[in-house]
Structure 1
Amino acid sequence: MNTADLGLPVDVPSTALFTDQYEFTMLQAAMKAGTAERRSVFEVFTRRLPEGRRYGVVAGTGRVLDAVENFRFDPDVLAFLRERKIVDEETLDWLADYRFSGDIWGYPEGEVYFPGSPIMRVEGTFAECVLLETVILSILNHDSAIAAAASRMSSAAGERPLIEMGARRTHELAAVAASRAAYLGGFTSTSDLAAGFRYGIPTVGTSAHAFTLLHDRERDAFQAQVKSMGRGTTLLVDTYDVAEAVRTAVEVAGPELGAVRIDSGDLLLVAHRVRQQLDELGATDTRIIVTSDLDEYAIASLAAAPVDAYGVGTQLVTGSGHPTCSMVYKLVARAESTDPTAPLVPVAKKSTGGKTSIGGRKWAARRLDEYGVAEAEVVGTGPLPDALADRQLLVELVKGGDVVARESLDVVRDRHTAARANLPLSATQLSRGEPVIPTEYVNGRSGSLTGA
């Protein structure tokens, strides 16, 4: 595969070092103990949503599948591990032939999730599964945080389009992943060309204040841009005096002017004044685009303003205050021995301090009320209740090491729209609150339900 699909520089041959050292030291110790080949089940979940959030959004699954496929130890990577004496020669020989041959199940990308949801389940030998922990968490924690922020912003924006423009506010590779996650969450376009190239996301962009300042007069800058890009372009009107700039913009481009962009000031007040001025000048179809450190709350506050689109940067690519989802990757079951037919034994961390886990290989389903609206996330071990048979959430993503569930970004985007629409209306409220539906656990032995 092409590493460019991962958002990686072309000179990065694999994802094998996107990990923590202790994954390798655990591998080596387990090999020496004779336990490395025990069949194991790891699950990705979060114990809680970010404070005040009503739901989470699964994002990054497609990138995880690429990362797993590209998790290879080429000679340069092996040489690095040998030089640093991170593992011994026996372990290096094993790594040289590494190919994930297990199974991965997960919530389909774009689906919503809640505390305790088994967002992804990785099954195989301990050795092959443990190495994937960091790269899987790195992708899912980042992308799901961005997608959740994007989803909230999309809800606040209603039918108005959102432009992702945060590339300059984050790491250059994170910016590409953020654009993808934002599009999944409801944004319509991006300013980042790498994201457009790699993922087919529509790209937009015209000019910055520097272009206006380059010219002797604002009129000269507008004339140059219109000559180059046509009357349907977007002119930035807040470099100097907004009212004068709007007047000049319409004089230069005529009533066919595509849009004006406002990037500073009291956006609510300025948008009303600009709309009135455009209408008086006959540019009734000219749109108004606002930018300037927007988040979901600022977008919601502009709902009554004559705004046609929003451009969002910093708050989006930082998860609007929650840059991670606190997902973890935990061993929940392992075989009694290395015999492939040995039964699985549930295992779980039992320490205090809010970090306990529930052992066992889990299924998940979403129970609906009589109106078809979600009312509970049901997570359990053992047999799946018949009443939930058609509401299962996990789907097969990798089978025997082969990816079996690749999807286009547009399919994932549509899935999220549908999943959000099936939640109670309070899911889209921006006021702080608990998860919009509870998580209930089913004990595989008793069948009893307990609230999370």
Structure 2
Amino acid sequence: MNTADLGLPVDVPSTALFTDQYELTMLQAALKGGTAERRSVFEVFTRRLPEGRRYGVVAGTGRVLDAVENFRFDADVLGFLRERDIVDGPTLEWLASYRFSGDIWGYPEGEVYFPGSPIMRVEGSFAECVLLETVILSILNHDSAIAAAASRMSSAAGERPLIEMGARRTHELAAVAAARAAYVGGFTSTSDLAAGFRYNIPTVGTSAHAFTLLHDHERDAFRAQVNSLGRNTTLLVDTYDVAAAVRTAVEIAGPELGAVRIDSGDLLLVAHRVRQQLDELGAGRTKIIVTSDLDEYAIASLAAAPVDAYGVGTQLVTGSGHPTCSMVYKLVARAESADPEAPLVPVAKKAAGGKTSIGGRKWAARRPDADGVAEAEVVGTGAVPPELADHQLLVELVKGGDVVAREPLDTVRDRHAAARANLPLSATQLSRGEPVIPTEYAVGRSGS
């Protein structure tokens, strides 16, 4: 099995500069102040879901593990920090040998989450944990936002496949991450070849309007495409006149024509007309693919239309209006001293404006009702109640600095489908509402 089978980048440079400067200045001050080696616990969580969303989706965990492994301060990185005078000499020396040696626990990728869920827990010295804040948040906030939008879209699409095609609507590197997150959320393929190469996601694509416009006649374009790609190809039929294009497409490809794509107009009306026309022309097995600024609401509105697949771009890669999950990375416990045996003390920010948090290392469990359907997200400190012991959510991802939880992307995708199916039915409603299950807190004494 090669790295692509596990969703691993083929060649990843150092991720050490994917961070904010204040992570390094905090490190310098902690080293000088003698607190850098205090054992610490950081947690990733969000205080609320985006407005109207019923659940969140954990995505990007595999990319986080890659980033942690590649968080190294090589000669070029150290040279940059020295040149800019960002940190002092002793700090540069400390960074030169940096390797994360702590533990990371988290919700398994593809799992759903709710306000307060401890999505990821990072444990180690303050110095080694604080440096990872920005890169962890940037990955989880982006990928989880895309996966949540993808999940809503796949729920609206039902059994109909979804094609991710948003590469031209976002940054070229974000496009690769977005395709991966969309696959986690339920999409079946991507148009982005870099995502296919890096993460082994199925890729698709045929032609755009430019190919039709290149030719003197639409017929010539269709013939050239069929001659090159075969009768099972997908022909784009809305460059000029849809009805005329469908007729020409079937004349050239015959009833074996794979699909037609509609990219404009009243998709509901046009899809019905095209289906009727295809059937009358003897192309009853030719599929209809629709694109054109779709989101989950547009997809849901086409549920009764004779559509076989959807292609989604802009709305997907922008999180369908919510491009971030507002996750934060907070210190929740730290040792009383640098002594490895020193007990942990819960700590938390106490401030007005809704930015307070709960101190202590957390556990999380999803309590089922009598029918096995989730009824509450329980987050607590201290001992886990016996009745929740078999329903805990956090799994070990990194142990002593070594990644212990790599997974194929298809495993993650299947997990998400199962997790969503285990929520109350109202989770799939697109109408605005509160989180589909409440978060309950069971705060006890936090041990070391």
> What TM-score, normalized by structure 1, do the two folds share?
0.97
- 1:359, distance to aligned residue in structure 2 (A): 0.2
3-state SS, counterpart of residue 352 of structure 1: coil
Matched position secondary structure for 1:255: helix
**Cα 1:330/1:266, change in 2 over 3 Å:** same
446 and 395 in structure 1: CA distance in 2 versus 1, 3 angstrom threshold: closer
Looking at structure 2, the residues matched to 6 and 344 of structure 1 have their Cα atoms a distance apart, in angstroms, of: 36
Q: Is the 1:40–1:334 Cα contact (8 Å) retained in structure 2?
A: yes
Partner of 1:43: 43
Residue identity over aligned pairs, in percent, reads: 91
Q: For the structure 1 residues 66 and 257, does the alpha-carbon distance in structure 2 shift closer, same or farther, using more than 3 Å as the test?
A: same
Q: Specify the SS of the correspondent of 1:254.
A: helix
Shift in alpha-carbon separation, 1:111–1:240, aligned structure 2, 3 A: same
Residue 9 of structure 1, CA deviation: 10
Task: Give the direction of change, closer, same or farther, for the CA distance of 1:170–1:2 in structure 2 (3 Å limit).
Answer: farther
Distance 2:430 2:295 in 1: 11
Verify the 8 A CA contact 1:3 1:13 in the aligned structure 2.
no
The alpha-carbon distance between structure 1 residues 186 and 10, as it changes in their structure 2 partners (threshold 3 A), is: closer
Structure 1 residue 95: Cα displacement:
0.2
Over residues 130-153 of structure 1, what are the superposed CA-to-partner deviations in whole Å (9 max), with x where a residue is unaligned? 000000000000000000000000
State the Cα deviation string for residues 312-352 of structure 1 (Å, max 9, x = none).
Answer: 00000000000000000000000000000000000000011
Aligned residue in 2 for 1:248 = 248
Tell me, yes or no, if structure 1 residue 217 matches structure 2 residue 217: yes
What residue number does 1:175 align with? 175
Quote the Cα distance in structure 1 between the aligned partners of 2:6 and 2:36: 29
How far does residue 10 in structure 1 lie from its aligned partner after superposition?
8.6
**Mapped partners of 2:263, 2:237: distance in 1:** 8
User: Residue 6 of structure 1 contacts residue 66 of structure 1 at CA under 8 Å; is this kept in 2?
Assistant: no
CA contact (8 A) 1:333 1:347 kept: yes
Preserved contact between residue 7 and residue 176 of structure 1 (Cα < 8 Å): no
- Check conservation: 2:365, 2:377, Cα contact below 8 A: yes
Q: How many residues align?
A: 448
CA, structure 1 residues 5+325, in 2 after alignment: closer, same or farther (shift >3 Å)? Answer: farther
Structure 2: stretches of 5+ with no match in the other structure: none
Quote the offset at 1:443 in angstroms. Answer: 1.7
| Deviations, residues 169-205 of structure 1 (Å, cap 9, x unaligned) | 0000000000000000000000000000010100000
Deviation at 1:253, TM superposition (A): 0.2
Rate the CA distance shift 1:355–1:3 in 2: closer, same or farther, 3 A. Answer: farther
- Does the C-alpha gap of structure 1 residues 193 and 107 become closer, same or farther in structure 2, counting only changes over 3 Å? same
Q: 1:159 to 1:202 in 2, by over 3 A?
A: same
Distance in structure 1 (CA, Å) of the matches to 2:446 and 2:124:
28
Post-superposition Cα deviations, 1:110-130, rounded to whole Å, max 9, x if no partner, equal: 000000000000000000000
Equivalence for 1:315 = 315
Q: Per the alignment, in what secondary structure is the counterpart of residue 14 of structure 1? A: coil
Q: Is the 8 A contact 2:7 2:408 kept in 1?
A: no
Deviation readout 1:75-132 (Å, 9 max, x if unpaired)? 0000000000000000000000000000000000000000000000000000000000
Distance 2:417 2:102 in 1: 31
Distance in 2, matches of 1:42 and 1:407, equals 24
Shift in alpha-carbon separation, 1:10–1:397, aligned structure 2, 3 A: closer
Contact 1:42/1:121 (8 A) holds in 2: yes
Distance of 2:436 and 2:402 partners within structure 1: 36
Q: Output the CA distance in 1 between the equivalents of 2:294 and 2:370.
A: 38
- State the 1:13 CA deviation: 2.6
C-alpha offsets along residues 208-243 of structure 1, whole Å, 9 cap, x if unaligned? 000000000000000000000000000000000000
In structure 1, the partner of 2:123 is 123
TM normalised by structure 2 equals 0.98
Cα distance in structure 1, aligned partners of 2:369 and 2:39: 38
Root-mean-square deviation (Å): 2.2
Alpha-carbon contact 1:7-1:177 (below 8 Å) kept: no
Contact 2:363 2:384 in 1 (8 A): yes
Distance 1:206-1:187 versus aligned 2 partners, 3 A rule:
same
Q: Distance in 2 between matches of 1:318 and 1:368?
A: 33
SS of the residue 2:376 aligns to: strand
The alpha carbon displacement at 1:398 in A equals 0.2
Q: Deviations over 1:336-391 (max 9, x none)?
A: 00000000000000011000000000000000000000000000000000000000
Q: In structure 1, how many angstroms separate the alpha carbons of the residues matched to 2:4 and 2:33? A: 39
Q: Does 1:355 align with 2:355?
A: yes
Give 3-state SS (helix, strand or coil) of 2:255's partner: coil
Q: Point out the more displaced range, 9-18 or 162-171.
A: 9-18
- Whole-Å separation in 1 of the counterparts to 2:447 and 2:91: 43
Q: Per-residue deviation at 1:5?
A: 11
Shift of the 81–6 alpha-carbon distance from structure 1 to 2, 3 Å rule, reads farther
Superposition deviation, residue 434 in structure 1? 0.1
Counterpart CA distance in 1 for 2:356 and 2:208 is 50
Q: Which residue of 2 aligns with 1:31?
A: 31
